[in-house]
Structures are given as C-alpha cells and as structure tokens.
Structure 1
Amino acid sequence: MKALDYNLLVKGIFFDAVGMLSMAIPVVGPFLDLAWAPVAAKQMSKMYPGRKGKFASILVFIEEILPFTDIVPSFTLMWVYTFLINTEPRPSKGRVIPIRIKD
C-alpha cells in the first residue's frame, strides 16, 4: 500500500479553493481565471511529476479557463486518483539507472 501524502492533499484543497474563489466575484471573477489558469497548471505539474502530472496540468488549465467549471476540484481529484485509485506505485523523485554487467 502506498503511503498517503497528506501535504499534497492540503495543498490541493488550498489550490482548489483559490480557483473557486473567482466564482464569488461577479464581474471580475472570469478575468481572474485567465491569470489563475497558468499558475494552477504549473502547480499541478510540480506537485505530480511525470506524464500523468502533465496531463492533469493540461486538464486543470482547461478547467480554469472555461467558465462555470471552477466547481470541479481538480487538485483533489488528482490526489484521489494518485493515492487511492491508481494501483501502480508512485515513482520516486530519484532516477534509477540500470547497469548491465557482462560476464
């Protein structure tokens, strides 16, 4: 079983809340989404490295740019997928270099 990273969950909930705050501001909110979308995509790719993180950063960018989609908690859903649904182990931050030994 994978160790759950609750720091990523707390960060994700925070970023989801920031993304949803723009809905509370009637006229200016959609324009704030234009500034928030690239920031959210960058944070997603930093929090979840690899192909899945890149794919999730594209999705969060699209979700933040489109109107009325701020209600979707993208960061929290990515955490749930990574730690609760996905069965393959999460890659470590280090890189493994295979070494072949000839006999």
Structure 2
Amino acid sequence: MSTLKDHKLRNLFLGLLFDGIGMLSFVIPGIGEFSDVIWAPVAGWLMTRLYKGKIGRAAGVITFIEEMLPGLDIVPTFTIMWFYTYVVKSVKKEEFISAK
C-alpha cells in the first residue's frame, strides 16, 4: 500500500527528472528546438498523469506552453507544481482546519 510520503517522494523524483529532460534541449543548440516539439506534448501529458483533476490539466497546459516557447525550458514546471501541491496547498489546508 502506497503512503502519502511515498507518493510525495515519487512525484518529487519524477518532477526533477522531467524538468531535467526538459532542460536538456539547452545542451545541444539547434536540435533543442526540434526536441521541444516532441517533448512539449509529452511533458503536458505527464503532468496530467502526476497531478489529477482540474489543477493537473491546467498545469499540463502550462507545461506544454512553457516547453514550446523558446528560452523558457529553464523554468522547472514539474518542481513548481510539486511545491504547490505538497507545500502551499498543505499549508492552506492546515490553516483552514485550525480556523474551524
């Protein structure tokens, strides 16, 4: 049985891996732009698989756009989404619970 901690760590690891793959296009000038055409839809789809619901779909669209636009590959979209999901939303949830 998978625990929340295992899920968090898996998503962090995969997010760092996927952000690294997205940044690889900077390594090979010229070929990088072509690889973004392939990686952008894959990255968008992967984001929707890691994070379910409306927020995952929105993040998938943002990831697709970020990967398609030249020069934005440096933005770690998967890591930002992990931070939002497991840190920011978690703090908001705790504040809501303690306000009751």
Q: Give the TM-score, by structure 1 length.
A: 0.81
Relative to its length, the structure with more helix (as a share) is 2
In structure 2, the residue matched to 1:83 is 86
| Alignment partners' CA distance in 2, 1:64 and 1:30 | 10
| Alignment partners' CA distance in 2, 1:88 and 1:72 | 27
2:14 alignment partner AA: K
Unpaired stretches in structure 2, ≥5 consecutive residues = 95-100
Deviation at 1:27, TM superposition (A): 1.0
1:22 aligned to 2:25?
yes
Q: Percent identity?
A: 45
In structure 2, the residue matched to 1:49 is 52
Aligned length, in residue pairs: 87
| Alignment partners' CA distance in 1, 2:30 and 2:53 | 37
1:71 to 63, 74, 78: 74
Report which of the two structures shows the higher radius of gyration computed on alpha carbons. Answer: 1
1:12 to 15, 25, 41: 15
Deviations 1:4-45 (A, max 9, x none): 411100000000000000111111101100000000000000
Unpaired stretches in structure 1, ≥5 consecutive residues = 90-103
